[in-house]
Amino acid sequence: MAVPKCKVSKSRRDSRAANWKIGKVGLVECPNCHELIQSHRVCPHCGYYDKEKVVELKAKKDN
């Protein structure tokens, strides 16, 4: 059975979990409409991905 050589303090033990942070979302410019979008996603503004139209967007209604 594995036995630890030294006792690990609560501070040292808990500090290991302190470094798991969520990073920033990588934003890039859409080559078609030049809006900021997440990389490798279809642009929600124009519906293009990799310079190809993949989603037909509905027209917005004016109130």
Distance CA 55, CA 51 (A): 12
The 10s digit of each residue's pLDDT in 1-58 is 788 889 999 998 888 887 788 888 889 999 999 999 999 999 999 999 988 898 888 8
The secondary element (H helix, E strand) that includes residue 37 is strand 36-38
Q: Which tokens go with 21?
A: 């942070």
Q: Which tokens go with 45?
A: 């503004």
The pTM for the full model equals: 0.56
